[in-house]
Structure 1
Amino acid sequence: MKHIQTGLVFALLLSFSLAGCISEDAGNEGLDLQVDYDLLNGTIVETYNDGELVSVDSVTIEFDFSKTTSDNKLFIFGIDTNDSRNPIEVNANETSIVSVDFVEHGLYELTLYAIDSDNNQANLSLIVRIDLTIDWTESYTDEPQILTFDPRPSNGGQHPVMIEIESTVENPELITELGNGESVDITWSIVDEYDDTCQRNGAQIANGDQGTWNTIHFNTYLVHELIVEFEEDQDTISIYHWISIIYDE
């Protein structure tokens, strides 16, 4: 079975769905809808440098309607994402490929359809899973910025199952006339939109060393902040956050 390659899908995928084909038996005046796809999930990656958003790698999935047949002339191939967007439609006489872009995380229930020249229509439904990863870097800072993340799906669909957080703080090696640099005392906190501290962790990081906090958070119904704090007059630090908002399979 021939499959069309997915365009612009960022290479980082937390998991993948096998390529497949879905079909609806002809029952609409000889209209038989069949659609091929390569995958049904992907990961959006947002990259931040010193608190500024520098890039967003969105996900594009292509659906191939070329095996769809009708006793009449095929007119339209389309996909309704069932969110705030208008349905995506193409002229069936010009192309069989319908591309759907995803720029927000969520579980999307797509309605795929074909319409022929007699206005017969056949529909199919598919679930597409779009996760989100935030890649955050701050270099040599003495005032760490707050990373705000929103696990709520903008399409109003099912919420994620969890949030994975990996945060590494580096105390860059410092050598001065007075000797080596000092260790730094770090506190990580996850705080929700009601200013309640959900999780907290601490570490003392020696000069030239680093400390990492790995945790999982299951409250995906509120906006949260990831905060790194350390005492004033300590050495500058570098911060690397990796946050993944993950949906159920």
Structure 2
Amino acid sequence: MGVVGFAGIRISAAALITSTLLLSGCMGLVGNDSEGFDLNVEPDSGHGMIYSSFQDGMQTSITYPVITFDFSGSTDYGRATSFGVDPGDGRDPITIDSSDGTEIPIEFQKHGLYSAIAFGVDESGFRVNLAIEVMIEQRIDWYENNTGTPEDFVFDSTPGNDGPIPSHFLLNSTVENPSVIEIDGREVDVRWDIVNHEGVCQSAAENVGNGDETLWKTIHFGPLAVHEVKLTIEEGQDRINVHHALEIRYAG
């Protein structure tokens, strides 16, 4: 092992390397005998779902998922002055003083694959980072009752960050032709078109008997940007009930 000497003092190279590592608080390698801590963060879930509902074209409800990041498992976390989470969606980091607690709840309002950065800062100003993957998906329920001219169902598959686009979306579309009169009720012919920026990407058609309902199930991989589900009554004068159930997915 080589040595270095200056002013009559000889210090081994190994000792210099060890000192450098122990002072590197930002690398998460600070020992318990230093002023740092080892960061350990546990989210209560790595997955969340946004739920929204529409009735006759008007949004009636929306629920956003909340992921809570728990810092209490960090070694010597009492030496930290603050904890924080950068959600990865363009917002500023959310921080708390360590004296105020060890949990940070984050509400996600857009679907996407997020690389959230959890971090702690100790009393010397050293910051330790930890990347945590969070998957946020979305379900939309669209209802129309007793309609003769179904509205276009418009949704956006653009993620809430610069991350990957969704793996796919699933559409379960139910059309009911309710029986208004018991005898000589009318059939109705309907047509679905899914439209994106390139035009019609999927279509289907079905005849729905009086008092019957039909279900169109489809999947679309790698969706980009805004899509519209257009439902048209092509034949028949009956009014129909509609339920589009759409899920934007990032995993199989």
TM-score bracket, normalised by the shorter chain, equals 0.7 to 0.9
* 1:248 is the counterpart of 2:251: yes
Match of 1:199 in 2: 202
CA distance in 2, matches of 1:135, 1:66: 38
Match of 1:183 in 2: 187
Pairs within 5 Å for 1:143-222: 143-175=149-181, 179-194=183-198, 196-222=199-225
Listed one character per residue, the Cα deviations across residues 173-206 of structure 1 (whole Å, up to 9, x for unaligned) are: 1117xx3320000101101134x11111011000
Counterpart pick for 1:133 among 139, 142, 165: 139
Change (3 A) 1:213 1:137: same
Contact (CA 8 Å) 1:72, 1:118: kept in 2 or not?
Answer: no
CA distance in 2, matches of 1:27, 1:109: 24
CA distance in 2, matches of 1:127, 1:72: 26
Question: Percent same amino acid among aligned pairs?
Answer: 35
Between Structure 1 and Structure 2, which shows a larger proportion of helix residues? 2
Match of 1:113 in 2: 119
CA distance in 1, matches of 2:83, 2:98: 6
Greater Cα offset, 205-214 or 70-79? 70-79
Counterpart pick for 1:98 among 90, 104, 120: 104
CA distance in 2, matches of 1:236, 1:72: 65
Listed one character per residue, the Cα deviations across residues 55-77 of structure 1 (whole Å, up to 9, x for unaligned) are: 11100011111122348732111
Match of 1:57 in 2: 63
Greater Cα offset, 223-232 or 97-106? 223-232
Contact (CA 8 Å) 2:146, 2:241: kept in 1 or not?
Answer: yes
CA distance in 1, matches of 2:128, 2:222: 39
TM-score scaled to structure 2, two decimals?
0.83
Change (3 A) 1:154 1:36: closer
Paired letter, 2:251: D
Contact (CA 8 Å) 1:26, 1:33: kept in 2 or not?
Answer: no
Unmatched segments (≥5 aa) in structure 2: 1-26
Counterpart pick for 1:226 among 184, 206, 229: 229
3-state SS of the aligned residue for 2:38? strand
Paired letter, 2:197: E
Paired letter, 1:123: N
3-state SS of the aligned residue for 1:135? strand
Counterpart pick for 2:44 among 38, 42, 52: 38
Alignment RMSD (CA, Å)? 1.8
CA distance in 2, matches of 1:96, 1:71: 9
